[in-house]
Amino acid sequence: MSSFSKKNSPLKGIVPPMITPLNQDGSLDTESTAKLIEHLISGGVHGIFILGTTGEFTGLSYDVRRELIFETCNRVAGRVPVLVGIADVSLEESIKLGAYAAEAGAYALVVAPPFYMNIDQQEMCAYYEQLADAITIPMYLYNMPSHTKLTIELDTVIKLSAHERIIGLKDSSAHGVYFQSLCHAFRDHEDFMLMVGPEEMMAETVLMGSHGGVAGGANLYPQLYVALYEAAANRDFEKIKKYQYCVMEISRNIYQVGGFKSSYMKGLKTAMSFAGLCQAVFAPPLYPFSSGDVEELRSRVEKIDALLKENQL
């Protein structure tokens, strides 16, 4: 079990929201999982976050979720912290999965609000407190209004941060004012981790003092996002410009094929299948690109690969 604790140094850097490698029958592709973990760690990531939105956590059965937790914690074997998403609509199922993750050696849990009922902030607050009381390892809040319909408002974050096991927040809202408000509120609490989800915003928020990013693209190109993070942390503007360019090209080209609401998910996992990191197999309700979209993506990925090569990444 984790020996990390709050009031220690917060997690910093790039923590990819790991995609979940699947076999055609929906079972966990353990071979790809092992390969992907090595790819990430050798790419320099500072942690691995499994069972997030990019990990298609909602589409997986509980059996697959548990298997992924077990496999990942075992494979990673303490080399980097493992963060485990346990968001659910049922508090009891979240608690069960959290206990399993703690037992498996996870560093911390990541929890979006329960995402079906329309609730008020006081209900959200009570929910998080019940959960935090029931788990044994630290927990990050996960703000994801586009998927949960709910925003964890600033005052709620402040209130929850008093709980000894709530140690930070990942914000995927893409709302720049919200995130700066968090940075301001926690300016004297360096130990409260603040990271953004959207990789396009990572550099600027690190420049402003936040801790890093949960960058989906780091599944494919971990070294790029690590290099951008370090450039931002070191205020090396020449490198920021160079790497941010690459990140934006990925965003513009890989995440938008086909015009689906899920194009990011489909583009990322399919591009990773080109690199042999997983199969292009999705959990329902997602399904693979048409062959036309695959070919369009392939030609785009080739250009990105060449671009990164030029940049020695």
- Residues contributing to the site for a second copy (CB under 8 A): 26, 53, 58-62, 89-93, 96, 113-120, 123-124, 126-127, 130, 146-149, 174-181, 183-184, 187, 196, 198, 200-201, 203-205, 207-209, 235, 237, 240-241, 244-245, 248-249, 251-252, 260-262, 265, 283-287
Smaller CB distance to a second copy: residue 77 or 245? 245
Smaller CB distance to a second copy: residue 1 or 245? 245
- Known binding residue 214? Answer is yes
* Least distance between a second copy and beta carbon 9 (Å): 20
Q: Which of 142, 221, 225, 255 is catalytic?
A: 142
Whether 128 is catalytic is no
Smaller CB distance to a second copy: residue 6 or 26? 26
User: What is the rounded distance in angstroms from the CA atom of residue 89 to the CA atom of residue 113?
Assistant: 8
User: What is the rounded distance in angstroms from the CA atom of residue 18 to the CA atom of residue 107?
Assistant: 15
Specify which residues 70 forms β-bridges with.
Answer: none
Name the 3-class secondary structure at 177: helix
Angle between helices 91-104 and 121-134 (to 10 degrees): 40
* Least distance between a second copy and beta carbon 122 (Å): 9
Smaller CB distance to a second copy: residue 2 or 279? 279
> At 250, phi and psi to the nearest 5?
-65, -45
Q: Which of 128, 170, 243, 269 is catalytic?
A: 170
Q: Given the structure tokens 């160079």, which residue do they identify?
A: 242
Tell me the chain's radius of gyration from C-alpha atoms.
Answer: 18
Smaller CB distance to a second copy: residue 2 or 263? 263
- Known binding residue 33? Answer is no
User: What is the rounded distance in angstroms from the CA atom of residue 71 to the CA atom of residue 78?
Assistant: 13
Smaller CB distance to a second copy: residue 41 or 158? 158
For residue 197 the two structure tokens come to 């989800």
Are the C-beta atoms of 129 and 163 separated by less than 8 Å? yes
Peptide bond into 16 cis (omega under 30): no
* Dihedral sign (CA 33, 305, 57, 227): positive
* Least distance between a second copy and beta carbon 77 (Å): 29
Whether 170 is catalytic is yes
Neighbours of 276 (CB within 10 A): 11
Q: DSSP string of 180-246?
A: HHHHHHTTT-TTSEEEES-GGGHHHHHHTT--EE--GGGGT-HHHHHHHHHHHHTT-HHHHHHHHHH
* Least distance between a second copy and beta carbon 216 (Å): 12
Q: Which residues are catalytic?
A: 142, 170
Which residue numbers belong to the known binding site?
A: 54, 214
Which residue numbers belong to the known binding site for pyruvate?
A: 54, 214
